[in-house]
Structure 1
Amino acid sequence: MTKMLASVTGGEEAEIAISAGADIIDLKDPKAGALGAVATETVRHTVAAVAGRRLTSAVCGDLPMQPETIRARVEEIAATGVDYVKIGFFPSENVAACSEILQPISKKKRLIAVLFADLAPDFELLSRFAADGFHGVMVDTADKAKGRLLDHLPPARIPAFVDRARGLGLAVGLSGSLEAPDIPRLLPFAPDFLGFRGALCGEGSRTRSIDAEAVKQIRALIPEEQRAGRASSVDYRLLAARGYAPGGADSALGTDKIFVREFVLPVEIGAYSFEHGHTQKVRFDVTAEVLRVTSHPEDMRHIVSYDLIMDGIRMIVARGHVQLSEALAEQVAAHVLEDPRVVRVTVRVEKLELGPAGVGVEIERKRAKQQPSALHARHDHGKKGVIS
């Protein structure tokens, strides 16, 4: 299950986050940069106050890529008793050396390497982090004024990152000015945790204090594991965002239709030799009939987002050449039907550059029986959890 990481500035905010259900309490000073560090004593006191009720993590600060500087700071934070130490790796020729010098510490403390989606991250470094004993890797954003994670790392690129990290035995985290609508788009990739700060501050800036109601709203969008001594708080309607559900939505509430129309992408498609080696414009029109989960939808918990359709099309197109329009339409339909709330889908695929008229195919597919999500199963295979 994906965990919710809440970045807090100290003990007071930690209590708010714990009360609202956050899984990981992350110490950070948002006024001091993307990975701005709080005082070491604040980390120590907060860890003591949390007293094992939640996992804890702390950032080391926006440090220069100098191996000895990095090592000293990581040792300092590790000594506070925090469960995870997060280290930012900014573009530098010294990145490998900064990772390697942490090998002795990684044998005693779980280290998380942080790369930045808006700084052209080098995912070849994942093998370096794994070799040096890191527990996990996460992607964040360095400049919070220049967009969210998905503005810099689109959904089509996320599976390759997640699969590679998992293949190396690394836990995976995603963060970077995430907002509520991003959650159902990211949950299908089954990251080990999603990180939040600004979204926890309500309508205010990420530098303001977190708001209990805002934390609860984010928590409610992430299916929650049962903790010892508590009744299960899993909302199975939300698990549909991960591609599975025990009984589906209530058909008595009827259905709605969501659609994507005239969505045009460059696609490598075609069976003729002249269609290989380049892209051509393809238009997608998709309509999905969706079981309702409430008579009064109010937020992202209650809907299937059209973003999931567009994200899926982008991911399918990114896989490479497709011979037939029919095959492409079938793949899109199968992706949309992975969500158990979808009972029927119509997909139209139209090639726009093969003459004076568009040509293509339109298919309609219905849900046969409950199937586990192929995307979810692929990303859960061999997964290394955050807790170990």
Structure 2
Amino acid sequence: MTKMLASVNGVDEAEIALTGGADIIDLKDPKAGALGAVTIEIVRQTVATVAGRRPVSAVCGDLPMVPETIRAKAEEIADAGVDYVKIGFFPSGDAAACAEALAPLAKRTKLIAVLFADLKLDLDLLPVLAKNGFHGAMIDTADKAGGRLLDHMPPERIPGFVNRCREAGLINGLAGSLETPDIPRLLPSGPDFLGFRGALCDQSQRTASIDIEAVRQIRELIPEERPAGNASSVDYRLLAARGYSPGAADPTLGTDKIFVRDFVVPVQIGAYSFEHGHTQKVCFNVTADVLRVTNAPEDMRHVFSYDIIMDGIRTIVARGHVQLSEALAEQVAALVLEDPRVMRVVVRVEKLELGPGGVGVEIERKRAKEQTSSLHPPAPSHGGGLHGRDKKGASS
């Protein structure tokens, strides 16, 4: 399950984050840069206050990539009693040497390398980190005024980072001026944690104090694990990783139609030999019937976002060549129906470059009855996936 990391500046904010349900308490000074470090005394005080209720991490600061400088600071923070030490890896020819210098410390403390999406992101560093005993890696942004994570790293590239971390045996995390609409877009990739600062603060100002209601809103958008021994390890209300909204949907409120219309993407598609080796424009039209949670939606907790559909299409397309339009439509339909509130989806896939008009396929898929009945009251899904019928077919 994905955990929620809350960045705090000391004891008082740590208590707020704990009350709001954060999984990891992360110490940093937001006024001192992307990875501004708090004093060692604040680290010790916060570790003592948290007292094992949650893991505590702390950043080393925006340090130059000098092996001995980074090693000394990381050791100082580790000795203050934190569970994780976060070290920024800025683009440098000395990055591997810095990782090697930290190898002895990695044997007794969990080290997390922080890479930056808005700088020269080098994912080839991941196996080097693993070789030197690092516990994990995360992607952040260095310039907080220069855009969010998804402005620099589109959603279809996120699974690549997550998978490469897993292949290297590293836990992985995502941060970078994340906002509430980003959460349902990032959860499908299955990161180990999502990190927040600005979204937790009053008016989303990262240098302001964190706000308990903002913390709770983020918490409600991220699935939580149930205590061991429960019938299900995951709260069914929170299973909708693609467009999550809290609480069991109420069928008496009816459905809304969420749609993506005339979404044109270059796709490697086609069964003919002349269609291989290049992309062609494909137009997607998707309409989803979504059960309402409330008749008075106020924020991302109450909606199914159309961003989920567009991100999903981009991610599917990024996997490589697809032989058939029908196969592409089925993949999109299955992705949308992963949200337990989606009752029905219509997907139209239209190839635009094979003649004077468009050709393609339109399919309709519905949620299985046993899945629909489990939505209210909450209960674990019984499987059964999808069923439906093609409304219109065309040559692929």
The alignment status of 1:208 with 2:198, answered yes or no, reads no
Distance 1:372 1:203, change over 3 A: farther
In the alignment, which residue of structure 1 is the partner of 2:237? 237
Specify which structure has the bigger relative contact order, considering alpha-carbon pairs within 8 angstroms and separated by 6 or more residues: 1
Which amino acid in the other structure matches residue 357 of structure 2?
A
In the alignment, which residue of structure 2 is the partner of 1:380? none
Deviation at 1:53, TM superposition (A): 1.5
1:243–1:340 contact (8 Å) kept in structure 2: no
Distance 1:301 1:237, change over 3 A: farther
Distance 1:276 1:248 in 2: 45
In the alignment, which residue of structure 2 is the partner of 1:147? 147
SS of equivalent residue, structure 2 residue 330: helix
In the alignment, which residue of structure 2 is the partner of 1:41? 41
The alignment status of 1:364 with 2:354, answered yes or no, reads no
Identical residues among aligned pairs (%): 76
Q: Deviations over 1:132-176 (max 9, x none)?
A: 111111111111111111111111111111111112221111100
TM-score normalised by length of structure 1: 0.90
Q: Aligned runs of 1:50-61 on 2, under 5 Å?
A: 50-61=50-61
In the alignment, which residue of structure 1 is the partner of 2:29? 29
Distance 1:295 1:234 in 2: 26
Distance 1:271 1:233 in 2: 43
Q: Deviations over 1:346-380 (max 9, x none)?
A: 1111111222111111111112254689xxxxxxx
In the alignment, which residue of structure 1 is the partner of 2:283? 283
Distance 1:372 1:50 in 2: 39
In the alignment, which residue of structure 2 is the partner of 1:309? 309
The alignment status of 1:222 with 2:230, answered yes or no, reads no
Distance 1:244 1:36, change over 3 A: closer
Q: Pick which of 129-138 and 360-369 moved more.
A: 360-369
Distance 2:41 2:281 in 1: 57
1:244–1:340 contact (8 Å) kept in structure 2: no
Q: Deviations over 1:49-93 (max 9, x none)?
A: 111121100000011111111111110110000010000101111
Deviation at 1:243, TM superposition (A): 9.1
1:11–1:46 contact (8 Å) kept in structure 2: yes
In the alignment, which residue of structure 2 is the partner of 1:110? 110
Deviation at 1:106, TM superposition (A): 0.5
Which amino acid in the other structure matches residue 196 of structure 2?
F
In the alignment, which residue of structure 2 is the partner of 1:130? 130
1:127–1:168 contact (8 Å) kept in structure 2: yes
Deviation at 1:296, TM superposition (A): 2.7
Which amino acid in the other structure matches residue 291 of structure 1?
L
Distance 2:239 2:367 in 1: 18
2:113–2:136 contact (8 Å) kept in structure 1: yes
In the alignment, which residue of structure 1 is the partner of 2:354? 354
Unpaired stretches in structure 2, ≥5 consecutive residues = 372-380, 384-396
Deviation at 1:244, TM superposition (A): 10
SS of equivalent residue, structure 2 residue 346: strand
How many residues are aligned here? 370
Distance 1:207 1:220 in 2: 23
Deviation at 1:293, TM superposition (A): 2.3
Distance 1:144 1:174 in 2: 14
SS of equivalent residue, structure 2 residue 274: helix
Deviation at 1:253, TM superposition (A): 2.7
In the alignment, which residue of structure 2 is the partner of 1:93? 93
Which amino acid in the other structure matches residue 33 of structure 1?
G
SS of equivalent residue, structure 2 residue 257: strand
TM-score normalised by length of structure 2: 0.89
Which amino acid in the other structure matches residue 16 of structure 2?
I
The alignment status of 1:332 with 2:325, answered yes or no, reads no
Distance 1:290 1:214 in 2: 26
2:56–2:83 contact (8 Å) kept in structure 1: yes
Distance 1:252 1:51 in 2: 46
